[in-house]
C-alpha cells in the first residue's frame, strides 16, 4: 500500500507519515521498484497504535519508548499523563475564571480590558505590596468574584484585611463566591471565607455562617461563633462558652457572651453553661470563668460570683470579690 492510500485510510497526512518514517516510529516494510514507500498490514497496525497513544497525550518520544521497549511498563507514564492533564485542566479553569472576571467588569474598550488584566495580575503578584495596591486600585473595577478568589488565597494579614473591606462594600454580591470557600477541603480557605463573610452585614451572610459552627477545624468554628454572637444568634453560645473554658480568645468570647445575655435576656442560660462542671475545673479555668462573669449582666451572674468569692483558691476568690465590688452588688450564697 503506497503512502497516499495509507494517508487516505488512516487520516494521517503524508507529511506526518514521512516524519514518522524519519524517526523510525512507523517505517514502511518495503519500497517499490521505483523507490516509493510501500506499507504492509503490520505497518498499518503499527500506525494505528501510534495514533491511539497520541490520543492519550503521549509525545512521539514516549510512544517510541512504549512500543519498542519490551521492559516498558505503562503505569508510571499513565500516572504522569493523569497529573499533566490535571494541571492543564487547572490552567484552563484559571483562564476561564479570568475571562469571566474581565467580562463581569464590563470594560468599554481594549484599554479597559488591559487595565483589568493588570489588576488581576497585581492580585496574583508574589509581592504583598503589589497585591495591596491592586486591591485599592480595583475598587469598583473588579467583580466580587475576583476579590473573593483573592481573599481565599491571601495569607498576608494586611492584604487580606483590605480584601475583606472591599468585599464588605460589595455586600451580598460577594456571598456566592465566598460560599464556595466554605466547602473547600483546605481549612485555611474555609477560615478566610468565614472571616470575609463575617464582615458582610446581610441575613444571607448569617445563614452561611451557621453551618461553620460545626466545622471540624476549631479555628473556623470559633470565628463563626464570634461573628454569629455579635449578630445576636443564640446558636453561637456553646462555641463561645467553649472558648472561655479552653482559654482561646476567651476575653473576646466573654464580651460577646455579655452582649448576647443583654440582647436576648438569656443571662440565666449563659451563666448555667459557663458554670457547668465548675467544681471539677482547674484553677485557671475557674479564673477565666470568673472573669467572663464580669461581662454578664443580671442576677444569675451575681449569684455565681458570690459562690466563687468563697473559692478555695485565693486568686479566684479575690477576683470574684473585686468584680462584685466593681458591680456594686453582693448577694448571699445559696442556702
Tens-digit pLDDT profile for residues 230-256: 999 999 999 999 999 999 999 999 999
Q: Is 127 exposed, middle or buried (0-12, 13-18, 19+ CB in 10 A)?
A: exposed
- Residue 220: which pLDDT band, with cuts at 50, 70 and 90? very high
pLDDT of residue 161: 93
pLDDT of residue 332: 45
Report the chain's mean pLDDT, rounded to a whole number. Answer: 88
Q: Are 152 and 122 in contact (CB under 8 A)?
A: no
Q: Are 239 and 225 in contact (CB under 8 A)?
A: yes
Q: Residue 225: pLDDT above 90?
A: yes
| CA geometry: angle 6, 7, 12, nearest 5 deg | 125
Mapped onto helix, strand or coil, the DSSP state of residue 139 is coil
Stretch 187-196: mean pLDDT: 96
For 283-308, the pLDDT digits (tens) are 999 999 999 999 999 999 999 999 99
pLDDT of residue 198: 96
Nearest in space to 219 (alpha carbons), one of 201, 237, 195, 203: 195
Nearest-angstrom CA–CA distance, 95 and 91: 6
Number of H helices, E strands in the chain: 19, 2
Q: Residue 334: pLDDT above 80?
A: no
Q: Residue 330: pLDDT above 50?
A: no
- Residue 323: which pLDDT band, with cuts at 50, 70 and 90? very high
Nearest-angstrom CA–CA distance, 75 and 203: 52
Count CA within 13 A, CB hemisphere, residue 248.
14
> What is the Rg, in whole angstroms, of the alpha carbon atoms belonging to the chain?
34
Give me the CATH topology for the region 3-72.
Multidrug-efflux Transporter Regulator; Chain: A; Domain 2 (1.10.1660)
State pTM to two decimals: 0.68
Cell of 300: 444569675
Backbone φ, ψ for residue 31 (5° rounding): -135, 150
Stretch 66-77: mean pLDDT: 78
Q: Residue 72: pLDDT above 80?
A: no
Compute CA distances 291 → 49, 191, 285, whole Å: 76, 28, 10
Nearest-angstrom CA–CA distance, 9 and 311: 95
Nearest-angstrom CA–CA distance, 140 and 117: 15
Which of 30-34, 107-111, 127-131 is predicted with the least confidence, judged by mean pLDDT? 107-111
- Residue 213: which pLDDT band, with cuts at 50, 70 and 90? very high
For 8-52, the pLDDT digits (tens) are 888 899 999 999 988 888 988 888 888 888 899 889 889 988 888
Nearest-angstrom CA–CA distance, 10 and 196: 57
For 268-278, the pLDDT digits (tens) are 999 999 999 88
- Residue 224: which pLDDT band, with cuts at 50, 70 and 90? very high
Strongest mean pLDDT among 17-21, 112-116, 139-143: 17-21
pLDDT of residue 104: 74
Nearest-angstrom CA–CA distance, 143 and 104: 6
Q: Are 199 and 225 in contact (CB under 8 A)?
A: no
Nearest in space to 226 (alpha carbons), one of 209, 240, 206, 242: 240
Amino acid at each position: 500500500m503506497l503512502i497516499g492510500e495509507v494517508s487516505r485510510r488512516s487520516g494521517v497526512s503524508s507529511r506526518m507519515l514521512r516524519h514518522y518514517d524519519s524517526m523510525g516510529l512507523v517505517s514502511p516494510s518495503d519500497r517499490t521498484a521505483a523507490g516509493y514507500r510501500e506499507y504492509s498490514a503490520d505497518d498499518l497496525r503499527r500506525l494505528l497504535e501510534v495514533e491511539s497513544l497520541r490520543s492519550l497525550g503521549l509525545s512521539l518520544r514516549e510512544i517510541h519508548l512504549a512500543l519498542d521497549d519490551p521492559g516498558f511498563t505503562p503505569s508510571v507514564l499513565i500516572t504522569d499523563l493523569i497529573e499533566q492533564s490535571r494541571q492543564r485542566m487547572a490552567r484552563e479553569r484559571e483562564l476561564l475564571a479570568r475571562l469571566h472576571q474581565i467580562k463581569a467588569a464590563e470594560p468599554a474598550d481594549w484599554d479597559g480590558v488591559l487595565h483589568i488584566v493588570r489588576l488581576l495580575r497585581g492580585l496574583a503578584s508574589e509581592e504583598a505590596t503589589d497585591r495591596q495596591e491592586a486591591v485599592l486600585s480595583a475598587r469598583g473595577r473588579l467583580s466580587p468574584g475576583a476579590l473573593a478568589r483573592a481573599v481565599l488565597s491571601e495569607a498576608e494579614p494586611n492584604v487580606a484585611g483590605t480584601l475583606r473591606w472591599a468585599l464588605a462594600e460589595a455586600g451580598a454580591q460577594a456571598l456566592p463566591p465566598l460560599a464556595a470557600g466554605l466547602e473547600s477541603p483546605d481549612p485555611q480557605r474555609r477560615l478566610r471565607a468565614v472571616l470575609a463573610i463575617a464582615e458582610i452585614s446581610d441575613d444571607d451572610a448569617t445563614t452561611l455562617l451557621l453551618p461553620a459552627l460545626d466545622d471540624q477545624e476549631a479555628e473556623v468554628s470559633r470565628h463563626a461563633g464570634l461573628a454569629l454572637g455579635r449578630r445576636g444568634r443564640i446558636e453561637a453560645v456553646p462555641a463561645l462558652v467553649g472558648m472561655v473554658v479552653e482559654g482561646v480568645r476567651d476575653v473576646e468570647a466573654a464580651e460577646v457572651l455579655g452582649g448576647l445575655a443583654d440582647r436576648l435576656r438569656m443571662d440565666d442560660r449563659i451563666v448555667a453553661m459557663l458554670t457547668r462542671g465548675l467544681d471539677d475545673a482547674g484553677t485557671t479555668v475557674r479564673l477565666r470563668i470568673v472573669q467572663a462573669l464580669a461581662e454578664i449582666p443580671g442576677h444569675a451572674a451575681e449569684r455565681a460570683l458570690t459562690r466563687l468569692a468563697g473559692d478555695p483558691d485565693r486568686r479566684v476568690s479575690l477576683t470574684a470579690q473585686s468584680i462584685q465590688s466593681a458591680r456594686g452588688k453582693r448577694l448571699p450564697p445559696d442556702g
